[in-house]
Structure 1
Amino acid sequence: MKKILLSFLLSVPVLGFSQSFQVNLQGQKQTAMGGAGAGLALDEAAVFFNPGAVSFLKRNGVQAGAHGIWLKTAFNQTGSATTEYNKNKIPTPLAAYAVFGSPENRLRFGLGVYTPFGGAMHWNEDWTGKYTVTSLDLQAIYIQPTLSLRITDNIGIGGGLVYALGKVDLQKAVPYTNNGVQTTAQLKGHSKDFGWNAGIFIKTVSGVSVGVTHRSQVTAKVENGDANFFNAPASVQSLLPTKFNATLPLPATTTVGFGFYPSEKTTIALDVNWVWWHAYKNLDFYYDKGDPTLSKRNYHDAATFRVGIQNETTSFLTLRAGVAYALSPVGEGYVTPEVPDADRLLLSAGIGLKPSERFGIDFSFLYENIKSRTETNIETGLSGTFKTVAYIPGVALSYKF
């Protein structure tokens, strides 16, 4: 019985980071331009998109913004005519940046606080896949102090140390009842880890700007996470674990970006991201009761292609638009219902308002259409078709000094 219970728990994709929980909402201007920005010295969000470009910013400034994610997922179990939907819960990833130092000097300083991984998925407590997951709340907040050096008039380099704070709350049904009430398992944990972000920014003689950046893998270590069981029968309570440890890699990302300037007021950005998802070949779990178990994931590296345009229509109004296409890293047989992943098309737009010389307001809207995907999960046996769309508005305020 003990082995069965532990095996059942370990079949859960704990902490779901491996299920394409990368959040690409680190700047309102860049979000409105399809998420492209590594080849531009656009604003304070360069702390994230390319630290090497920070030294090319014309003014110092601070900005803060947030997005709201409306995610709609439909699931149709194989052989069933019934379609089930996730609950509405709106995560709000945040991003804030500051850039300091005289623009005339070659050395500049930056600070960024942003959310590169996270998600929220909630299903009805009695849905078909309740023994896989009923809810997941996940967040990783990165704090990044940054140095940027303009080593020549055309080349800048920069980098920052990342302090990563992670937390997770995952719940699922367990196949027991107590006085007719379903038993529920909850896994909660926190992590504190380190990484880095570095980039180079080049202004070519042809007028095209080029950026190359790399954000390192962060190995999130969850130690002494809490394993809670609600309404568990007395006959199995002594067999259930109370603590768990897990080591979960948050993948590295390498980006090559280009900036084109067909006119003084128009900017075109082109980025290619390569995300090193192969770190998720396996995930190890350690409980205070029972032997460690290896859970296979077999994810593979995947690319995202992004293009965006910005036009400073007037001194008050700037218009932006973009498109991107992301390839899924999740292989056949490994799709799970936390955030069912597939190749996706992204369309974006936004406006920037400048009420004064120092103050700015930027709005963005991102639409994600994740392809329909029919899969049978190798570990859980959950079989059916997932289809997801997301609507993501955002706003940020900025101040120059």
Structure 2
Amino acid sequence: MKSKLLAFLGSALLSGTAMAGGYQVNLASQRQIGMGHTGTGIQTGTSSIFFNPGALSYIRENGVTIGASAISSHIAYRGIEPTSVSAEADNDFGTPFQVYAAYKVDDMLTVGLGIYTPFGSGVKWGDQWSGRFALNQIDLQAIFFQPTVSYKIGDKLGLGVGFVVATGAVNLQRAVPVQNQDGTEGSIELDGSAKTGFGVNVGAFFQATEKLSIGIDYRSKIDLEVEEGDVIFSNIPAAARGSFPDGAQFSAQLPLPATLTLGVGYQVNDQLTLAADVSHVGWSEYESLRFNFDKPVAGSNFSESARNYEDAFIYRIGAEYQLNEKLALRGGAYYDQTPVQDGYLTPETPDADSRGLSAGIGYAITESFGVDASFLYINKKKRTDSAEASRSIAGTYKATAYIPGIALNYKF
């Protein structure tokens, strides 16, 4: 029982079902989702606060954008033969959102504020599946607040910096392999909020020619620290309560990795815009996860588990076609490498290389007010960890997601 609990505690704080590599959420703008989530090398309006602060100085009008997505994810598990036990996660809808506001101080200087959710995850396996002693459910949330300053140098170069303030929370639950007198299994819940973390988002935008634009953006790593999180036990029999003390608390540090993106845009004509981005995500910062307890849990004051994530790349392409003055049509695709190495596939991080296809429309209701809508389909490769290699529940995992989204835009 002690070894099972420590194995769980060392692996369960972060989940890989965010439908992007690791626990990253790439849903920062409905317009850009429709274009494969490209945006570093083109002018994206208020959402340049996220994609490239250097391009924000190129907006022509002040603006506010409010948008959100609804993630419907499906994750299936099948155990190793001969048992081949199967399960399917019953996940709640995820609702990442974005709010952007930009104001032109003058022709050169633009300031803005972004509030968005670039990391997060959730999976709900339930309390009946065979891996319930590893995980029942988990929810991870991170929210970024980013005041931004952007300055245009001449007609060709824009530079910008955003100062990121990040906060978050985590809740996870699992069964404990003990039973009380009526046969009900014990359970453990870890619940905590993160201290404020700080980072930067720096970008440069270069209008090389009338048709060709190039951008580069760097979003720094942020360490979120959970302190005085609650460790809550339920249905623990009296004989085992010494190993599961009431009122225990935990602390842990969560790395939100840095991302470096190079983007290119090409204005084929007045109607057609093409874009391509390549991102490098510094997942190798996530080497291990350590929990510290203020009271011994299962006989120990800490647990530590190797993660050994690898750096990964994301490749994106997208297009927008302005059909008329009011209607724009969009499409895109991407390939997102997983940072999870073989042998580290778990119910918390059943991650694999992802393929995404997207489509979207933009409609200008008036000169000042418009709507963007997007739809993203994500298909993760089927992936198996053998019993010999796996550090958790060996088996095969397969995940897909359907993600509609909508945003409202106001210019003034």
What interval of TM-score do these two structures reach, taking the shorter chain for normalisation?
Answer: over 0.9
Change (3 A) 1:12 1:294: closer
Counterparts of 1:61-80 in structure 2, within 5 Å, are 61-79=63-81, 80=83
Name 1:217's counterpart in structure 2: 221
Cα root mean square deviation, aligned = 1.7
Name 1:193's counterpart in structure 2: 197
Is 1:389 matched with 2:395? no
Name 1:16's counterpart in structure 2: 15
Following the alignment from structure 2 to structure 1, what is the Cα–Cα distance between the partners of residues 129 and 5?
22
Name 2:249's counterpart in structure 1: 243
Following the alignment from structure 1 to structure 2, what is the Cα–Cα distance between the partners of residues 12 and 229?
18
Choose the corresponding residue for 2:208, options 204, 210, 214.
204
Q: Is the 8 A contact 2:179 2:185 kept in 1?
A: yes
Is 1:342 matched with 2:346? no
Name 1:49's counterpart in structure 2: 51
Supply the AA of the counterpart residue of 1:235.
A
Q: What is the SS of the residue equivalent to 1:44? A: helix
Supply the AA of the counterpart residue of 2:204.
I
Cα deviation digits, residues 151-209 of structure 1 (max 9, x gap): 22110110111111110111111101112111111111111211111100000036311
Name 1:7's counterpart in structure 2: 6
Supply the AA of the counterpart residue of 1:398.
N
Choose the corresponding residue for 2:317, options 307, 314, 322.
307
Is 1:228 matched with 2:248? no
Q: What is the SS of the residue equivalent to 1:118? A: strand
Q: Is the 8 A contact 2:345 2:392 kept in 1?
A: no
Q: Is the 8 A contact 2:227 2:252 kept in 1?
A: yes
Following the alignment from structure 2 to structure 1, what is the Cα–Cα distance between the partners of residues 120 and 57?
30
Number of aligned positions between the proteins: 399
Give the CA deviation at 1:147.
0.4
Supply the AA of the counterpart residue of 1:267.
T
Supply the AA of the counterpart residue of 1:135.
Q
Counterparts of 1:1-400 in structure 2, within 5 Å, are 4=3, 7-16=6-15, 20-79=22-81, 80-102=83-105, 104-178=106-180, 179-191=182-194, 192-205=196-209, 207-240=211-244, 242-288=248-294, 289=296, 290-376=300-386, 380-400=391-411
Q: Is the 8 A contact 1:281 1:298 kept in 2?
A: yes
Supply the AA of the counterpart residue of 2:12.
P
Give the CA deviation at 1:379.
6.5
Give the CA deviation at 1:41.
1.1
Supply the AA of the counterpart residue of 2:263.
G
Q: What is the SS of the residue equivalent to 2:268? A: strand
Change (3 A) 1:115 1:175: same
Give the CA deviation at 1:234.
1.6
Cα deviation digits, residues 69-89 of structure 1 (max 9, x gap): 010111110113443111041
Following the alignment from structure 1 to structure 2, what is the Cα–Cα distance between the partners of residues 17 and 285?
19
Give the CA deviation at 1:382.
1.1
Q: What is the SS of the residue equivalent to 1:335? A: coil
Q: Is the 8 A contact 1:169 1:186 kept in 2?
A: yes
Q: Is the 8 A contact 2:85 2:130 kept in 1?
A: no
Q: What is the SS of the residue equivalent to 2:31? A: helix
Following the alignment from structure 1 to structure 2, what is the Cα–Cα distance between the partners of residues 334 and 15?
13
Following the alignment from structure 2 to structure 1, what is the Cα–Cα distance between the partners of residues 391 and 132?
11
Give the CA deviation at 1:122.
0.4
Q: What is the SS of the residue equivalent to 1:201? A: strand
Supply the AA of the counterpart residue of 2:239.
S
Following the alignment from structure 1 to structure 2, what is the Cα–Cα distance between the partners of residues 244 and 369?
35
Cα deviation digits, residues 293-351 of structure 1 (max 9, x gap): 32101110000100000011011110000000111110011112135111111000000
Following the alignment from structure 1 to structure 2, what is the Cα–Cα distance between the partners of residues 330 and 7?
21
Supply the AA of the counterpart residue of 2:259.
T
Give the CA deviation at 1:7.
2.2
- Between stretches 172-181 and 47-56, larger displacement belongs to 172-181
Q: What is the SS of the residue equivalent to 2:401? A: strand
TM-score, normalisation: structure 1: 0.96
Give the CA deviation at 1:129.
1.1
Change (3 A) 1:66 1:339: farther
Instruction: Identify unmatched segments of 5+ residues in structure 2.
Output: none
